Amino acid sequence: MSGQKLRFGIIGAGRIGRVHAETLAFRLPETEIAAIGDVSVEAAQAVAARCNIPKVAATAEEILGDPSIDAVLICSPTATHSELIVKAAEAGKHIFCEKPIAFSLEKIDVALAAVQQAGVQLQIGFNRRFDSNFARVRQAVVNGEVGVPRLLHIISRDPAPPPIAYIRSSGGIFLDMTIHDFDMARFLMGDEVEEIYTAAGVMIDPAIGEARDLDTALIVLRFRSGAIGTIDNSRQAAYGYDQRAEILGSKGKIATENRFPNEAIVSTGKSIYTDLPLNFFMDRYTESFALELKAFTEAVLAGKPTPVTGIDGRIPVVMALAARKSYDEHRPVLLREVSA
Amino acid sequence: MSGQKLRFGIIGAGRIGRVHAETLAFRLPETEIAAIGDVSVEAAQAVAARCNIPKVAATAEEILGDPSIDAVLICSPTATHSELIVKAAEAGKHIFCEKPIAFSLEKIDVALAAVQQAGVQLQIGFNRRFDSNFARVRQAVVNGEVGVPRLLHIISRDPAPPPIAYIRSSGGIFLDMTIHDFDMARFLMGDEVEEIYTAAGVMIDPAIGEARDLDTALIVLRFRSGAIGTIDNSRQAAYGYDQRAEILGSKGKIATENRFPNEAIVSTGKSIYTDLPLNFFMDRYTESFALELKAFTEAVLAGKPTPVTGIDGRIPVVMALAARKSYDEHRPVLLREVSA
Amino acid sequence: MSGQKLRFGIIGAGRIGRVHAETLAFRLPETEIAAIGDVSVEAAQAVAARCNIPKVAATAEEILGDPSIDAVLICSPTATHSELIVKAAEAGKHIFCEKPIAFSLEKIDVALAAVQQAGVQLQIGFNRRFDSNFARVRQAVVNGEVGVPRLLHIISRDPAPPPIAYIRSSGGIFLDMTIHDFDMARFLMGDEVEEIYTAAGVMIDPAIGEARDLDTALIVLRFRSGAIGTIDNSRQAAYGYDQRAEILGSKGKIATENRFPNEAIVSTGKSIYTDLPLNFFMDRYTESFALELKAFTEAVLAGKPTPVTGIDGRIPVVMALAARKSYDEHRPVLLREVSA
Amino acid sequence: MSGQKLRFGIIGAGRIGRVHAETLAFRLPETEIAAIGDVSVEAAQAVAARCNIPKVAATAEEILGDPSIDAVLICSPTATHSELIVKAAEAGKHIFCEKPIAFSLEKIDVALAAVQQAGVQLQIGFNRRFDSNFARVRQAVVNGEVGVPRLLHIISRDPAPPPIAYIRSSGGIFLDMTIHDFDMARFLMGDEVEEIYTAAGVMIDPAIGEARDLDTALIVLRFRSGAIGTIDNSRQAAYGYDQRAEILGSKGKIATENRFPNEAIVSTGKSIYTDLPLNFFMDRYTESFALELKAFTEAVLAGKPTPVTGIDGRIPVVMALAARKSYDEHRPVLLREVSA
């Protein structure tokens, strides 16, 4: 470890790469950024200039080969994640990787094996665990404020569907969108899902169906404890980003509302109204992106396990595959049917 | 028709019979009550005294045989409903009958056939359609405020489970409790359900399981339009009666909250808190019980169809049977599997 | 006392007279109405028919002279209240009188003296004490939930100003509208006001100013305990009837919101909105009108003091006079300047 | 101007100095910090290290004498503000100064004259204008969403009183605490106050009274337009920092609620509760501190007037003096009595 600061290399200078770079540069004094690289040199240079990063790397290998670097942030496209994890592990770097690890369990298992063999740490970018609302729900369960969980509801709706080109390479709604909710379900309940049933459809844009994807889904989860729950996904909510959770337990319930740009309420002769909620994930989850990096940094510096491990990255992919299989076969599907 | 007032006979002087008697006596000047009967003469006498009802009938037949009576309220136990509907129809009385009509489709069909043949009017006591919250949800759909419905959520939780003796004769959670929510689903969406999938369990009291019933359930509904939805039922919510609905449509969503005894918020050094919501259906739905009788009276006096017809009473029973079959067979069940 | 039921005569069959008659007839089995009278015989007859009142009296004297009557409801215009109280007291009737007792302290004192001499009971129609929201605020103070009260805010705004003709005979905003809030201030705080300062103006309709009245006011109250508070009055709130209270105490605060016709929230691409609050006092305070009569009936039947006594009727008039004097003289005014 | 970046010197490295330094360093790429100075060299060094500031100045004069510096942030104690403004103006620096400029109008006028003569720009640190809630209230007034303002309420309560030593040197509650609310009143209404009446007391801690200060106050404002309003101040709110505003206008009202750390609601068998609001000004107003510096930077770079000018810094001091005079003389006081 290079002294007291954790030294990072960043692979990928797109939207999320830039957000993470800013967090490291401006909010985490216990870190420093050694280099950033991207297939777009301009993108990498822009982030480097903004965040005072001394070096723009031409390739990922250049970053992985830099012995002064302790940890890498993998913010490149999903298709590259598993291979980069393997290489980074082999180079002895600790790894923070955006979700999902890969679309296939084979690739994930290869990556996780490499991480285990190298003995490095891996954290997956399930940032919502660090959102103050979802963290409060988890806290209520852990504290026993609501007793033993019985019923879970997760509402997760985007303001508008992404471009069809994105949809085509996204891995489908379950791997692209619901995967966050699958992680939330495990995290909030502190329990594992055994079986999934999916009801879904194409209700927003027929082009999504033509791309063999779905845009609206209800996913029923059965947990080991016997608890049951639903995830509600829509690629379009006219009023903006809608991210809520509710747990009913033996002693009560906890439910979260959305976060708004202000708390003003206007009353006129026609209605009582407020502005719309924070519009999309960059606004709603700003703070959680910083907190997940802080947690990663602290875990690595302390030599302790990260709060979102490789297996936490694998299971939601299994759930996504089961959700799709359930939809395709029109029946409840056990997770062990997908991954023995 | 006996002049301008609608003249009622009431069969059953239990809790709901008494509520209906008070509505007719004190809130609907366009009605009068000719007689009330109950297997408990004391119960009938008490209501008669309270509501100035001139006659306590010894039997239902005495009420049905009274030519001065235009309409009957059937508030007796479910097991008697279908037979009483048949007799009342044959006697030429208009009929307001509490839900459900019966636990079996055969009995329901006999009752509905008798009603049709007699040409009398029938209204089923799905009072929640007249609750200001659910009526507002329906209005938003009809007005197009939320566009084309895509996703529905109904939350319907009781404060505490009924006695096991009640559970045993209730017909099961789907016929006893969810039946209201099945009606709500059809009413709010203005659409018919084609298929049901049920995830459920015994989480509150093993004795409920020993009575071969369930106490916690998630029911997924697929509508003809392609829309999908869930019903969330629990026999126990520590914080009281929880009755909410939410519809996501192409233009937005409408969601309802519970009704509270007051709108006071207390802020202390520990938390910001309110009192619990109105505790159970008699408090929460008080007004809706009066409004459904008003609607029945107006429909009969005007010779127009009632707002909740016999078929509206039959379909939720089909849904309940499908929900149970889905649970038993662990697969999605088409309604037409249960009722061709 | 005529047996176990309290026998009422009602003087005045206007809006509030009718509301009280319906409460007695349909909701309070421990009461009966012997007669009702009004200068408009038609109005009295209509209420009598609706509420099964056996007799329409030609004059107030006819009611006061009926030995079978235990108590009178004085629902006639304010100008007649004090004289009717005196006569009713002399006739040995218990008295429920609408607010205010009179516009002058002399008349009030004559009335209260007559009541005291006759030993009958008197309750003034400050119904808001029985509203579930304000009752909850009082309860929080009594329970010590918010500690020792320090700051009070009462917001009390009408949807729209009354006709100018009404304004002219109303006694002015402080005696007509604020008087309820003066009562609330004493009731909620459990404390007496010593001094008042008024800032006010004509902001809604110049015709109100031409009638020598005000339409918008802020009244600062200084209590004996040292606590301070404000009353905010407006004759016009575009969004409807606005009735709220807030107390800050040493341990926290309690604040109430308005009551709405439903708890539905609509979210669209433009805003998140609800319907407007219950529009005016008949909707908002329906239940409180029934509860105040119940409390009066119980107090009289039990021979205990009523919850809103004659002195509770007098003090708000003193406060109203002080508020106007403060406005006229542009300075804080002690209550003892107005009433020694 | 030194190129495209605005070059700052910071005088004062206490709590607010550090917050401003971080904003400049990490959030405003169009700025750079040349130097920071504080009577505590350690404090200045700590901020310099955190924010990569190249120089720690021994004295304010060293900063004011640096020709490479365009603008100064005055974050030192109030007693030094006016003199530093004069010196900075004479040195040709643009000035951002924390509130209040001074406790005496004489000192303020000297400072403002120096600013005017030098032709530099001055912005006063009334950060709440940049808070999303208060900005939304102002926007509603400007947009005409609530029509012509008639009534204003500002609630501004601290979680707990400061140490008595602070109280003694604070200038009193009106100059220390209410001064923000005086600014808010002018800002939200877009109107000037003509007259003030103060009701206040010592209710929290007798030691505050012994220090000749007050801890609880209601201040009535009369605006030029005829509108009226109140400010509610308490040095202690058990539930935390309470910062709200409400305006009633001819077309409606706008009211703001507090901001909370999360939007979770827990329902148990005892109550429905949330966590407490964000606890104090550093949490509640974080974003506004950044936005005010951004606005200052943009104004200076564009050569346009700042959004909170010297006169905006002077008027709240006049209001504070009038508020105290009103309390002392127990009468409404015109602002022109205090400052001709």
- Condensed to tens digits (0 to 9), the pLDDT of residues D116-154 reads 999 999 999 999 999 999 999 999 999 999 999 999 999
In the three-class reduction of DSSP (H, G, I as helix; E, B as strand; rest coil), residue C119 is classed as: coil
* pLDDT over threshold 50, residue B172: yes
User: Phi and psi dihedrals of B325, rounded to 5?
Assistant: -60, -40
Tell me how far apart the alpha carbons of residues A163 and A106 are, in angstroms, rounded to a whole number: 28
Tell me how far apart the alpha carbons of residues D82 and C314 are, in angstroms, rounded to a whole number: 56
**For strand A122-124 and strand A94-97, is the pairing parallel, antiparallel, or unpaired?**
parallel
- In this prediction, what percent of chain D has a pLDDT beyond 70? 99
Nearest to B263 among C146, C256, C265 (CB): C256
Question: How confident is the model at residue D317, as a pLDDT?
Answer: 97
How many other β-carbons are positioned within 10 Å of the β-carbon of residue A56? 20
* pLDDT over threshold 80, residue D165: yes
In the three-class reduction of DSSP (H, G, I as helix; E, B as strand; rest coil), residue D9 is classed as: strand
- Cβ–Cβ gap A201/B151 under 8 Å: no
- Chain A CB contacts of C238 below 8 Å: 267-269
pLDDT tens for residues D53-105? 999 999 999 999 999 999 999 999 999 999 999 999 999 999 999 999 999 99
Let me know if C120 is exposed, middle or buried by CB neighbors in 10 A (0-12, 13-18, 19+). buried
The CB-side HSE value for A81 (13 A sphere, CA atoms) comes to: 27
- Cβ–Cβ gap D271/B273 under 8 Å: yes
Tell me how far apart the alpha carbons of residues D107 and D121 are, in angstroms, rounded to a whole number: 18
- Cβ–Cβ gap C276/A276 under 8 Å: no
Tell me how far apart the alpha carbons of residues A335 and D181 are, in angstroms, rounded to a whole number: 59
Query: Is ipTM over 0.90?
Result: yes
- Chain C CB contacts of A237 below 8 Å: 267
For residues B115-130, average pLDDT: 98
Query: What residues does B157 pair with on adjacent strands?
Result: B234, B242
Tell me the nearest-neighbour CA distance from A275 into chain D, angstroms. 10
pLDDT tens for residues D286-310? 999 999 999 999 999 999 999 999 9
In the three-class reduction of DSSP (H, G, I as helix; E, B as strand; rest coil), residue B170 is classed as: coil
Question: How confident is the model at residue D2, as a pLDDT?
Answer: 42
Residue A317: name the closest of A85, A78, A116, A119 by CA.
A78
Identify the helix (H) or strand (E) that includes residue C230. Answer: strand C228-234
Which residues in D have their CB inside 8 Å of a CB on C? 147-148, 150-151, 153, 157, 197, 199-201, 203-204, 216, 218, 220, 222, 226-230, 232, 234, 236-239, 242, 248, 250-253, 330-332
Can you say whether the dihedral through the CA atoms of C294, C300, C304, C307 is positive or negative? positive
- Cβ–Cβ gap C239/A273 under 8 Å: no
Residue C245: name the closest of B265, B92, B218 by CA.
B265
pLDDT tens for residues B186-234? 999 999 999 999 999 999 999 999 999 999 999 999 999 999 999 999 9
Residue C25: name the closest of D54, B29, A245 by CA.
B29
- Chain B CB contacts of A331 below 8 Å: 331-332
- Chain C CB contacts of B140 below 8 Å: 264, 266
Query: What residues does D198 pair with on adjacent strands?
Result: D219
- Chain C CB contacts of D151 below 8 Å: 216, 218, 232, 234
Tell me the nearest-neighbour CA distance from A275 into chain C, angstroms. 5
Cα nearest neighbour of B331 on chain A = A331
For residues A96-125, average pLDDT: 97
Banded pLDDT at D4 (limits 50, 70, 90):
confident
Question: How confident is the model at residue A2, as a pLDDT?
Answer: 42
Per-residue pLDDT of chain C (340 residues; tens, 9 = 90+): 445 799 999 999 999 999 999 999 999 989 999 999 999 999 999 999 999 999 999 999 999 999 999 999 999 999 999 999 999 999 999 999 999 999 999 999 999 999 999 999 999 999 999 999 999 999 999 999 999 999 999 999 999 999 999 999 999 999 999 999 999 999 999 999 999 999 999 999 999 999 999 999 999 999 999 999 999 999 999 999 999 999 999 999 999 999 999 999 999 999 999 999 999 898 999 999 999 999 999 999 999 999 999 999 999 999 999 999 999 999 999 999 999 7
Tell me how far apart the alpha carbons of residues B195 and B340 are, in angstroms, rounded to a whole number: 13
Question: How confident is the model at residue D1, as a pLDDT?
Answer: 43
- Token pair, residue D52, equals 């990569």
Tell me how far apart the alpha carbons of residues D2 and C338 are, in angstroms, rounded to a whole number: 70
- Chain A CB contacts of D253 below 8 Å: 266-267
For residues B116-142, average pLDDT: 98
Average confidence score pLDDT of chain D: 96
The H-assigned helical ranges of C158-212 are 164-168, 173-176, 178-189, 206-210
- Chain B CB contacts of A199 below 8 Å: 197, 220, 222, 228, 332
For residues D264-275, average pLDDT: 97
For residues D201-219, average pLDDT: 98
Which residues in B have their CB inside 8 Å of a CB on C? 25-27, 29, 50, 132-133, 135-137, 140, 145-146, 251-259, 261-269, 275
User: Phi and psi dihedrals of C110, rounded to 5?
Assistant: -60, -45
For residues A116-136, average pLDDT: 98
- Chain B CB contacts of C50 below 8 Å: 29
For residues A22-49, average pLDDT: 95
Residue A296: name the closest of A137, A73, A14, A63 by CA.
A73
For residues D191-220, average pLDDT: 98
Question: How confident is the model at residue C340, as a pLDDT?
Answer: 72
Which residues in B have their CB inside 8 Å of a CB on A? 147-148, 150-151, 153, 157, 197, 199-201, 203-204, 216, 218, 220, 222, 226-230, 232, 234, 236-239, 242, 248, 250-253, 330-332
Can you say whether the dihedral through the CA atoms of C306, C310, C313, C319 is positive or negative? negative
Cα nearest neighbour of B275 on chain C = C136
Q: Answer for the pair C251, D238: CB distance below 8 angstroms, yes or no.
A: yes
In total, the C-beta contacts within 8 angstroms joining chain B to chain C are 87
pLDDT tens for residues B73-83? 999 999 999 99
pLDDT tens for residues A265-298? 999 999 999 999 999 898 999 999 999 999 999 9
Nearest to A251 among B200, B201, B238 (CB): B238
**For strand B149-157 and strand B122-124, is the pairing parallel, antiparallel, or unpaired?**
unpaired
Nearest to C239 among A237, A267, A274 (CB): A267
* pLDDT over threshold 80, residue B1: no
DSSP letter at C250 equals T
Average confidence score pLDDT of chain A: 96
- Chain C CB contacts of A244 below 8 Å: none
- In this prediction, what percent of chain B has a pLDDT beyond 90? 97
Nearest to B150 among A222, A234, A252 (CB): A234
Q: Answer for the pair A246, A185: CB distance below 8 angstroms, yes or no.
A: no
Can you say whether the dihedral through the CA atoms of A312, A317, A320, A322 is positive or negative? negative
